[in-house]
């Protein structure tokens, strides 16, 4: 923070959501003060970030006054009473549109809150606004024709990730104490990694996303989950407890959240990998994993080097399942509207037949674009029988993965530690060529396992790229992303067994405790860093 902000605002916006809740409940500060401070912060940083795209300041201030009156009257308060938060634009918030980046939806205000937004507000949280997304939630660049492009507070030349990139950026910059996002392939975890904050995607089925502006919800093999982003693991745990801590419907899982504070990290068995074998990681990414592994080992955990089974199979299954309708659902959503350049190739290739794609793949390979050619391998089936077969293969892969956790040397493993992404935060526009590199973030979604990201370190000077110059657009773009990346935050990913969010959070908290004592820990909030 800088001296241009009031000292009170600096102190308030530097506090965690849990700290703010305690201060407000104890009367040390008011909810009105907390809301005003965060609005001040948003107005300071948002012109550079374009993170908060729907603002509801007047409503938030009135809700804060009501919250303060309730506290003064001695009424019961929730765990987030009076705490200012933000939510991803695709999540319904009464009185605002949920466009998913589609211009045709910009004037359609919804009438009711998304169930998880409603739970957040029932816990006392005050929503300041909604944050930017990738169009149709399909890219690691949060850009769309309705709201434009968001930037990363650590370097405005870089993306905050996607599709919950606006949420990651404003939480990292101190404009929001906590946020909700959605995740079908890394959409809360990648922004957390790129922006130097923490996040968790729950087990598939615990917090299923009900949105209807992305991958058709009839596709039930890989289901988007609502997750939480925050500047501390404690706040992520607090938020997950709020949105997933009660069973209000027979459609929700009967398995309760475990107590992450009761998990003994010294008894955990940790499988560690730096590279999935499908797409190589950069030197800084590998170092971050090694440092996190050392922290867990120092805490008493048993740490063993490991390799995930058949990473390329996981990648092919994931993309095969999500494109099984040959892009018909996505095409219907965007028909007659402008498609963002980041997702335009996906929409184009997703509609092509297998014979046409075979020709395109051969042409791309012939001109040295092997990376782009390989991405098209699973596209173009479009028949129900093939989809059923993919679902069966997904079940087989999940069993293979669990067997590896149980039987490989060093197991049975409680958690898997690895990279969330093969490279640091993408430069603007890189998502068009890179997409999801390797199996790193998508693996948890294919398996349906809970997974979280926690910051560990920053890219060091001289810790650039090992990739040779290449004509291949994917390789050349990855090389550019790794160059001039010094100072960017790096996180690691913790994947746990189904329904063991408590174990994932405990491991994340131990890593945070060890890493936060180091000088290169990506502390937030930060002022936006101008382009280099």
Catalytic site residues?
A: 88, 163, 187
Q: Which helix or strand (DSSP H or E) is residue 290 part of?
A: helix 283-298
Q: What is the three-class DSSP state of 88?
A: strand
Q: Peptide bond before 163: cis, by omega within 30 degrees of 0? A: yes
Question: In sequence order, what DSSP letters do the residues of 182-238 get, joined into one string?
Answer: EESSSTTHHHHHHHT-EEEEPPTTTSB----SSS-TT--SS--EEEEEESSHHHHHH
Could you tell me whether strands 415-418 and 84-88 are parallel, antiparallel, or unpaired per DSSP bridges? unpaired
Is residue 454 within 8 Å of 198, Cβ to Cβ? yes
Could you tell me whether strands 126-131 and 143-144 are parallel, antiparallel, or unpaired per DSSP bridges? unpaired
Instruction: Mark out the alpha helices in 2-50 (DSSP H runs).
Output: 7-13, 17-26, 31-49
Q: Which helix or strand (DSSP H or E) is residue 397 part of?
A: helix 384-407
Q: Peptide bond before 510: cis, by omega within 30 degrees of 0? A: no
| Cα 402 from chain centre | 24
Instruction: Mark out the alpha helices in 73-179 (DSSP H runs).
Output: 115-122, 165-172
Handedness of CA 406, 412, 414, 418 (dihedral sign): negative
Cα angle for residues 525, 529, 532 (degrees, 5° grid): 160
């Amino acid at each position: 923070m800088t001296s241009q902000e009031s000292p009170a605002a600096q102190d308030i916006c530097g506090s965690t959501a849990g700290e703010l809740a305690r201060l407000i409940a104890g009367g040390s500060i008011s909810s009105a003060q907390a809301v005003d401070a965060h609005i001040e912060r948003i107005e300071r940083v948002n012109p550079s970030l374009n993170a908060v795209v729907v603002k509801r300041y007047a409503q938030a201030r009135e809700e804060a006054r009501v919250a303060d009156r309730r506290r003064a009257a001695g009424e019961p308060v929730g765990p987030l009473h009076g705490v200012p938060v933000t939510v991803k634009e695709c999540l319904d918030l009464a009185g605002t549109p949920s466009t998913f980046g589609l211009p045709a939806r910009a004037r359609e205000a919804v009438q009711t809150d998304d169930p998880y937004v409603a739970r957040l507000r029932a816990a006392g949280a005050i929503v300041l606004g909604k944050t930017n997304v990738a169009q149709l939630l399909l890219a690691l660049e949060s850009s769309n024709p309705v709201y434009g492009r968001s930037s990363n507070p650590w370097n405005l030349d870089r993306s905050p990730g996607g599709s919950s990139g606006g949420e990651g950026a404003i939480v990292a910059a101190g404009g929001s104490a906590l946020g909700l996002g959605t995740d079908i392939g890394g959409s809360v975890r990648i922004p957390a990694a790129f922006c130097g904050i923490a996040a968790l995607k729950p087990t598939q089925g615990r917090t299923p996303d009900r949105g209807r502006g992305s991958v058709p919800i009839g596709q039930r093999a890989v289901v988007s989950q609502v997750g939480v982003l925050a500047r501390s693991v404690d706040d992520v745990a607090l938020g997950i407890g709020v949105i997933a801590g009660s069973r209000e419907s027979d459609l929700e899982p009967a398995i309760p959240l475990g107590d992450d504070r009761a998990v003994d990290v010294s008894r955990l068995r940790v499988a560690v990998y730096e590279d999935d074998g499908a797409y190589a990681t950069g030197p800084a990414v590998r170092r971050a994993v090694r440092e996190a592994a050392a922290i867990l080992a120092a805490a008493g955990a048993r740490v063993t080097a490991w390799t995930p089974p058949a990473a390329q199979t996981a990648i092919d299954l994931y993309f095969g399942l999500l494109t099984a309708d040959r892009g018909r659902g996505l095409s219907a959503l965007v028909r007659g509207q402008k498609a963002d350049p980041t997702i335009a190739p996906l929409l184009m290739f997703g509609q092509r037949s297998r014979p046409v794609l075979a020709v395109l793949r051969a042409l791309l390979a012939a001109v040295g674009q092997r990376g782009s050619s390989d991405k098209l391998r699973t596209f173009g089936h479009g028949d129900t029988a093939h989809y059923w077969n993919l679902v069966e293969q997904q079940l087989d892969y999940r069993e293979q993965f669990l067997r590896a956790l149980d039987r490989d040397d060093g197991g049975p493993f409680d958690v898997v530690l690895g990279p969330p992404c093969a490279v640091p935060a993408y430069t603007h526009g890189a998502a068009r060529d890179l997409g999801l590199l390797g199996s790193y973030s998508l693996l948890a979604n294919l398996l349906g396992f809970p997974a979280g990201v926690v910051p560990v370190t920053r890219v060091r000077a001289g810790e650039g790229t090992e990739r040779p110059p290449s004509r291949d657009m994917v390789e050349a773009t990855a090389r550019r992303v790794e160059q001039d990346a010094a100072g960017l935050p790096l996180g690691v990913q913790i994947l746990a067994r189904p329904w063991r969010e408590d174990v994932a959070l405990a491991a994340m908290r131990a890593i945070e405790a060890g890493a936060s004592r180091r000088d290169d820990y990506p502390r937030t909030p930060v002022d936006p860093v101008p382009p280099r």
